[in-house]
Structure 1
Amino acid sequence: MVTGDAAYIKKINRSLIIREIVKEGMISRADLSKTTNLTRATISAQVADLLEEGLIIETHLEHYTVGRKPIMLSLNGHAGYALGIDLDYGEISFTISDLLGCPISSNSVKINTTDYKDILLLLVEQIKKFKADFNESRYGIVGIVIAIHGLVSKEEIIHYVPRLKWHEMNLKSDLEKEIGIPIHLENNANLSSFAERVFLHHETDNLLCTTLYSGIGLGMMMNNNFFRGHEGYAGEIGHMIVVPGGKQCNCGNKGCWEKYASESSIFEYLSEKRQIENLTYEQIQEWLNEGDEEVLDVMEQFIFYLSIGLNNMINMYNPDVIVLDSKLLRMYPDSLKKIRENLNSSISHYRELRISSIGRKSSILGACALAIKQFLDVPMLNLPFHLKTDKDGSATI
């Protein structure tokens, strides 16, 4: 039995109430009492506080034909805003969302430097602009989460970003000194897994999200929490060896999974083979539409090696849901069916295998959602998926 002082119990009850309001979208006081098992007096007192704080709003339910129209409670999405940042090689992307995770504003800044001080100054400048633009709401920007394409420790220190060549950088501390808003750093694949859980897979406790773009990253949600490992570096699944003595990898080993089953490996191979410097998805799609035998063979090999790694992942983690984030898989006909046909071990168990419908936006949307979760102080969020989709089925902001 959980015991504690009155303030602690009030905090727990508040968290339960906010979580249910967000989950249901709109809910009455009576239904809140039923779903949380809290007394009506407790609900009334907590709701009064939340209304006074401007975190929730009341709405009369329209078209209610029996009895009095109930007063419905919902989260005030415009009480504050979350800023998600995707810090990638060559580009920094920014998205502002409301407290319901709906994107309000997005932009990207191209960068031609990897110098830490230059990028720090750029981040400070951009964040201050967002802070000024959204300071008229009740809570302004409630939190900032930055997606890092590399190793981030449990203390949120950047241990290593391969493409930026950053080692042991305390970006969190350096930004907070200048901004005055809580900053959080998280691995980009972890944020992708968080976005999949928060926006789409609401009934999932254990979810793996594998991103297949510039390398292979693995975000892991275990019992609705990030699985980070001993120091925070878990999830570097791209460096699992699938071909002993195979292709040389930058990590120092040979035969790493991402040398065979990442999108970058496909682009590198076809670019070299066909002497095309800036190969695009559109060009690969054209070859697929034409039935180009060589490209079809490359895609079949991609799926073959991808399946080897997935088989290992499934046996290691026994997840509910596995989400594959890859534009090439969305482009290639029957890719999911072909992968499933390769996963025929009698001891491999998982509930669902999906190709991400959020796509490349998942890490930045996950960043916004994590900032919201931390501000509302709830154990988990179930948010509606607001976004439109591109022709390939991935989300667009």
Structure 2
Amino acid sequence: MITGDAAYIKKLNRSLILSQIIEYNKISRADLSKVTGLNKATISVQVSDLLEEQLLIEEQYEHNNLGRRPILLSLNRKAGYALGIDLDKDQILFTLSDLLGFPTHIEIVPLQTKDYNEIVDILVEYIIEIKKKCQGSTFGLIGVTVGIHGLVSKDEKILFFPHLKWRNKNIKSDLVNKADVTVFIENNANLTAFAENVFKHNKSSNLISISMHSGIGLGMMMNGEIHKGFHGYAGEIGHMIVVPDGNNCACGNQGCWELYASESSFFKQLEENYQRTNADYYDIHTWLKMGKPDVVEQMEQLIKYISIGLNNIINMYNPEIIVLNSELLRLSPNAITQIERRLNSNINHYSKLLISELGKQACVMGACALSIKKFLQISELNLQITMNRTL
């Protein structure tokens, strides 16, 4: 039994109640008492407070049976909004969501500069504009979470952003001071893993997600929490060396995994080896269906190097679920089968290997979800969104 002062117990009960209301979407007070194990008096007091705060709404359940219609509770999803930002090397993706993680506004801003101050000014401009859009809601913009494609410390400072050549930047402080909002800074791969856990694999206690777009990053979820390592830098698996004395990497080493197994490296190699310039995902999908030998060969090389890295990761972490976030792999119907054929070591153990359904939206979805979790002060968050994926 959990014991402690009254305020602490009340906070725990509030967290539990909100988590269950979100998970069930709509639930009666009586059922809420059953699933939480809290008595009806506690439920009544907490729900009354949450209704007064306008975090909850209630509605009568329509049914044809005799008797009183039950009143169902649900989260007031329009009470506030969360902003997720994916800051990549050549673009910034802004996604605004309601309190259930559903996107309400999306903007993509191309980057023409690597200058830190210029990019901060761009971020501030858009944050302030989006903040204005939320003023009509009860809580307004509840938080901004920025996904960084680089090393982020536990105190949310950027140690190194390889593609933008940033070192030791306190972007959180700059955004808070200039935009006057609550800000969280997190590694993009960690946010991607968090999104997989929140939206798709909530019951998993051991999940890793590998983002494979502009580089390669590893996010790890253990018992519902992001595993960050001692300083916060765990997961920089893209800079694991897979080819000794290989190609030069922006990190300063040679032969890093992301130079051979990321999507950006795939397109670069396709251009260098076969002169296929300005190719996009639709082109790749078309060429693979046509069986173009050069593209098929390049895909086989990609899968080969992905498998090399995965062998190392599985042996290190023994994960339950492995999610590969790659649009290219999604275009190849036999990709998972081909990869699994190469994971044939007797000491390789994992439960499930799959391709992400969230795709490039995963980082901003995780960013929005993190702001929501922090705002609601809950220990578990289980959101549900149906993805509509097309090429």
2:101·2:383 contact (CA, 8 Å) conserved in 1? yes
1:108-147 matched pairs, under 5 angstroms: 108-147=108-147
Q: What is the match of residue 237 of structure 2? A: 237
**CA offset at residue 240 of structure 1?**
1.3
1:86·1:363 contact (CA, 8 Å) conserved in 2? yes
Note the alpha carbon deviations across 1:153-177, whole angstroms, 9 max, x for none: 1000111111111111111111111
C-alpha distance in structure 1 between counterparts of 2:249 and 2:172, whole Å = 30
**CA offset at residue 385 of structure 1?**
1.0
Q: What is the match of residue 76 of structure 1? A: 76
> Alpha carbons of 1:122 and 1:280: their partners in 2 closer, same or farther (altered >3 Å)?
same
Q: What is the match of residue 296 of structure 2? A: 296
C-alpha distance in structure 1 between counterparts of 2:214 and 2:255, whole Å = 16
2:163·2:250 contact (CA, 8 Å) conserved in 1? no
C-alpha distance in structure 1 between counterparts of 2:237 and 2:155, whole Å = 21
Q: What is the match of residue 346 of structure 2? A: 346
C-alpha distance in structure 2 between counterparts of 1:220 and 1:295, whole Å = 32
Helix, strand or coil: the match of 1:214?
coil
C-alpha distance in structure 2 between counterparts of 1:75 and 1:316, whole Å = 40
Q: Provide structure 2 residue ranges, at least 5 long, that are not aligned to the other structure.
A: none
C-alpha distance in structure 2 between counterparts of 1:311 and 1:101, whole Å = 34
1:1-397 matched pairs, under 5 angstroms: 1-63=1-63, 65=65, 67-391=67-391
**CA offset at residue 265 of structure 1?**
1.9
Helix, strand or coil: the match of 1:191?
helix
C-alpha distance in structure 2 between counterparts of 1:108 and 1:215, whole Å = 19
Note the alpha carbon deviations across 1:195-215, whole angstroms, 9 max, x for none: 111111121111111011111
Note the alpha carbon deviations across 1:193-241, whole angstroms, 9 max, x for none: 1111111112111111101111111111111111111111111111112
C-alpha distance in structure 2 between counterparts of 1:358 and 1:19, whole Å = 22
Matched residue type, 1:368: C
1:320·1:350 contact (CA, 8 Å) conserved in 2? yes
Helix, strand or coil: the match of 2:168?
strand
2:245·2:255 contact (CA, 8 Å) conserved in 1? yes
Deviates more, 1:313-322 or 1:359-368: 313-322
**CA offset at residue 63 of structure 1?**
2.3
1:193·1:207 contact (CA, 8 Å) conserved in 2? yes
C-alpha distance in structure 1 between counterparts of 2:379 and 2:336, whole Å = 32
**CA offset at residue 67 of structure 1?**
3.5
Helix, strand or coil: the match of 2:197?
helix
Q: Provide structure 1 residue ranges, at least 5 long, that are not aligned to the other structure.
A: 392-397
**CA offset at residue 285 of structure 1?**
2.2
Helix, strand or coil: the match of 1:78?
coil
2:22·2:382 contact (CA, 8 Å) conserved in 1? yes
C-alpha distance in structure 2 between counterparts of 1:281 and 1:360, whole Å = 13
C-alpha distance in structure 1 between counterparts of 2:220 and 2:186, whole Å = 12
C-alpha distance in structure 2 between counterparts of 1:350 and 1:26, whole Å = 35
Helix, strand or coil: the match of 1:339?
helix
> Alpha carbons of 1:309 and 1:66: their partners in 2 closer, same or farther (altered >3 Å)?
farther
Sequence identity of aligned pairs in percent? Answer: 54
1:249·1:255 contact (CA, 8 Å) conserved in 2? yes
Note the alpha carbon deviations across 1:332-381, whole angstroms, 9 max, x for none: 12111111222222322222111011100100111011000000001121
C-alpha distance in structure 2 between counterparts of 1:110 and 1:300, whole Å = 31
Alignment: residue pair count: 391
In the TM superposition, structure 1's runs of 4+ consecutive aligned residues that sit over 3 Å from their partners are 245-248
**CA offset at residue 72 of structure 1?**
0.8
C-alpha distance in structure 1 between counterparts of 2:247 and 2:178, whole Å = 44
1:102·1:386 contact (CA, 8 Å) conserved in 2? no
Matched residue type, 1:189: A
After superposition, the CA RMSD in angstroms is 1.4
Note the alpha carbon deviations across 1:13-72, whole angstroms, 9 max, x for none: 000000000011011111111111111100000000000100011111112525322111
C-alpha distance in structure 2 between counterparts of 1:132 and 1:253, whole Å = 44
C-alpha distance in structure 1 between counterparts of 2:270 and 2:386, whole Å = 36
Note the alpha carbon deviations across 1:232-261, whole angstroms, 9 max, x for none: 111111111223333333323333222221
Q: What is the match of residue 394 of structure 1? A: none
Matched residue type, 2:102: C
TM-score by length of 2: 0.97
Note the alpha carbon deviations across 1:140-193, whole angstroms, 9 max, x for none: 011110111111110001111111111111111111112222100001111111
Helix, strand or coil: the match of 1:93?
strand
TM-score by length of 1: 0.95
